[in-house]
Chain A
Amino acid sequence: KAGVTQTPRYLIKTRGQQVTLSCSPISGHRSVSWYQQTPGQGLQFLFEYFSETQRNKGNFPGRFSGRQFSNSRSEMNVSTLELGDSALYLCASSFEASEQFFGPGTRLTVL
């Protein structure tokens, strides 16, 4: 099976802009979770989608949002970007609630 894929792999934006990241899960996986990885805060859970519904949510401001499509592909959006949003954004897919497989990540730099 093909692994989890994420696009784009790298992104440079300026403060105030918005950004959309995409994640394609492993075929058959209906759960997609998003994590933010930074040197200072480590790996932090953003949210999880299952069958097009947000099932779990982390402690991030409302500027961070997401959605899932009927084919299980997921997107996350960050509006009004801040310098502190610079991070590696990882998505992970799983079959129901089980081991999570990570994608390669999208490296977002906010200038």
Chain B
Amino acid sequence: GENVEQHPSTLSVQEGDSAVIKCTYSDSASNYFPWYKQELGKRPQLIIDIRSNVGEKKDQRIAVTLNKTAKHFSLHITETQPEDSAVYFCAATKISGGYNKLIFGAGTRLAVHP
């Protein structure tokens, strides 16, 4: 069935370092890959997304890469700051024909230490 694996489950970095979170999806029909950030006690917030016709997308300190052949996608955060500390979720879905069901990874708890 549909599955998204996410690694690592926890990640601890020093302020200013880079952080990388990796996800693998099982459904080769997936064509939309969003990343959500969830701070403690708050709702998940979309931080970046990528569609299958693009290999890389960047937004300031955040970038996402997609390898459709290997069914991998990754989140890269550069120059990390304490406010980046949160749980990050990757997700995958096939957006077509009314299909709109996000399959989430298990989440990565990122801690950025000053």
CA distance A103 to B43 in the complex (A): 6
Of the residues B42, B99, B104, contact of A43 by C-beta under 8 Å: B104
- Across-interface contacts of A94 in B (CB, < 8 A): 100
Q: How far apart sit A31 and B45, CA to CA, in the bound complex (Å)?
A: 17
Digitize A95-110: 1 where CB-to-B-CB distance is under 8 Å, 0 elsewhere.
0011111111100000
Q: Does B13 contact A (CB under 8 A)?
A: no
- B: interface residue count bin: 20 to 34
Select which of A31, A42, A50, A56 is within 8 A of B106 by beta carbon.
Answer: A42
Is A15's CB within 8 Å of the partner chain B? no
Residue from B89, B95, B100 in contact with A50 in the complex, judged by beta carbons closer than 8 Å: B100
Secondary structure at chain A's binding surface: helix, strand, loop or mixed? strand
Chain B residues with CB under 8 A of A35:
102, 104
B101, A50: Cβ atoms under 8 Å?
no
- Contacting residues, chain B, for A56 (C-beta < 8 A): 98-101
The answer to whether residues A48 and B101 also contact, given A43-B44, A102-B43, A104-B43 and a CB cut-off of 8 A, is yes
Partner pick for A101 among B46, B100, B101, B107, CB 8 A cutoff: B46
Known pairs A50-B98, A55-B98, A99-B34; A45 contacts B43 (CB<8 A): no
Interface assignment of A24: CB less than 8 Å from any CB of chain B? no
Q: Give bound CA distance, A102 to B34, whole Å.
A: 13
Contact A99 B98 (CB under 8 A): no
Interface size on A, residues (CB 8 A): 24
Question: How far apart are B104's CB and chain A's nearest CB, in angstroms?
Answer: 4
**B contact set with A: CB distance below 8 Å:** 34, 36, 42-46, 49, 89, 91, 95-96, 98-107
- Cross-chain pairs A/B with CB under 8 angstroms, 30 sampled: A33-B100, A33-B101, A33-B102, A35-B102, A35-B104, A42-B106, A42-B107, A43-B102, A43-B104, A43-B107, A44-B104, A45-B101, A45-B103, A45-B104, A48-B100, A48-B101, A55-B98, A55-B99, A56-B100, A56-B101, A90-B44, A97-B95, A97-B98, A97-B99, A98-B95, A99-B34, A100-B34, A100-B46, A102-B44, A102-B45
Binding site for B on A (CB under 8 A): 31, 33, 35, 42-45, 48, 50, 55-56, 58, 90, 92, 94, 97-105
